[in-house]
């Protein structure tokens, strides 16, 4: 894959510093050098110590990424929300994990995306998961289609410039929910469980912002934005304020509403595309099991 830039900064500078400003790391430079890539200045191959000047044309060829053979293929079709040569956004269904685990090596979104890449005969075959969702959470999931694209979005993630919005159906003491509020309670491991998390003074800082959309009786629909990324954060925070997610048996949610998984959906994903510099605003409608309940509110 090729990337092209024009030097705009006045005065000579070493090529390695110019490339660093474009987001190319030392690790990627090593990959280019030792795995068949090349760096050209005005169509001549140069090393990273070469001094470039304003107006120089830089072309970087990054070698293709061969598949990880240990990652199995799952030929279940995926629902594509957005795709270009750098990124793939899919709509994840309930009951499907994001990535394989030791005792569940297949049937995940990563396995399905690998099958799609192979069917399309893409040159880059490594699966780069940028944003994950819990097994029973539905909605938008973001993949990078090559390592450079992944690294560029990781920079945005660290700066909190990738915005994910969720919708959740909650029950219980929903009359106490404000039209707009923030839950900022520390989250740590629940010592009684390998998986479960709980509110604990010694836990990590966690902040969840929400907006009340609909409310009827003891059920409500809320929009949610996470400002931290703790495990089970939304589920733990809403249990803590007396409004656990419907269908969430781990955290005390109502189990008699017709939904048998935590009622949580990633409905919106927004970020600045690192290569086009355009803001992407992607949305996903609620899964059918959640929509049926929302229609009754």
**Per-residue pLDDT tens digits for 156-205:** 999 999 999 999 999 999 999 999 999 999 999 998 898 999 999 999 99
Query: How far, CA to CA in Å, does 22 sit from each of 28, 58, 247?
Result: 12, 11, 45
Contact 87, 149 (CB under 8 A): yes
3-state secondary structure of 17: helix
Query: How far, CA to CA in Å, does 238 sit from each of 9, 25, 154, 172, 203?
Result: 50, 40, 28, 10, 16
Looking at 56, 74, 134, 248, which residue is catalytic? 134
Mean pLDDT, contiguous 10-residue spans, the chain (297 residues): 93 92 92 92 94 95 94 97 98 97 93 98 96 96 97 93 97 96 97 93 97 96 96 97 97 95 98 96 97 94
d(CA 188, CA 176): 25
d(CA 264, CA 215): 16
Domain with CATH 3.30.2350.10 in the chain: 64-159, 164-266
Domain with CATH 3.10.290 in the chain: 2-61
Query: How far, CA to CA in Å, does 251 sit from each of 95, 171, 175, 244, 246?
Result: 17, 12, 19, 6, 9
pLDDT value at residue 233: 97
Helix axes 26-34, 147-158, angle to 10 degrees: 180
Domain covering 2-61: architecture: Roll (3.10)
Let me know if 134 is a catalytic residue: yes
pLDDT value at residue 270: 97
- The model's pTM is 0.93
pLDDT value at residue 11: 84
pLDDT value at residue 103: 85
The CATH code of domain 64-159 reads 3.30.2350.10
- Tokens representing 277 are 């510099």
- Domain over 164-266 is classified CATH 3.40.640.10: no
pLDDT value at residue 241: 97
pLDDT value at residue 10: 87
- Tokens representing 64 are 């293709």
């Amino acid at each position: 894959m090729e990337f092209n830039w024009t030097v705009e900064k006045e005065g000579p500078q070493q090529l390695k510093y110019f490339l660093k400003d474009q987001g190319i790391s030392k690790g990627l430079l090593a990959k280019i050098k030792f795995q068949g890539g090349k760096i050209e200045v005005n169509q001549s191959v140069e090393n990273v110590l070469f001094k470039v000047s304003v107006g120089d044309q830089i072309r970087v060829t990054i070698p293709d990424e061969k598949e990880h053979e240990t990652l199995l293929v799952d030929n279940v079709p995926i629902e594509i929300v957005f795709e270009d040569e750098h990124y793939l956004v899919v709509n994840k269904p309930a009951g499907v994990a994001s990535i394989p685990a030791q005792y569940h090596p297949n049937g995940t979104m990563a396995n399905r995306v690998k099958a799609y890449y192979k069917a399309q005969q893409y040159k880059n075959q490594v699966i780069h998961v940028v944003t994950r969702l819990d097994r029973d959470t539905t909605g938008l999931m973001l993949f990078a289609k090559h390592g450079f694209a992944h690294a560029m979005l990781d920079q945005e993630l660290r700066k909190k410039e990738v915005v994910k919005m969720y919708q959740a159906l909650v029950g219980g003491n929903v009359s106490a929910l404000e039209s707009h509020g923030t839950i900022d309670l520390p989250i740590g491991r629940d010592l009684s469980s390998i998986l479960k998390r709980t509110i604990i003074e010694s836990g990590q800082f966690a902040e969840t912002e929400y907006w009340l959309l609909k409310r009827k009786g003891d059920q409500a629909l809320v929009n949610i934005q996470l400002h931290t990324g703790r495990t089970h954060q939304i589920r733990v925070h809403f249990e803590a304020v007396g409004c656990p997610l419907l269908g969430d048996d781990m955290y005390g949610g109502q189990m008699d509403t017709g939904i048998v998984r935590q009622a949580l959906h990633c409905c919106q994903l927004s970020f600045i595309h690192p290569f086009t510099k355009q803001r992407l605003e992607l949305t996903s409608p609620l899964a059918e099991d959640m929509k049926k309940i929302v229609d009754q509110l």
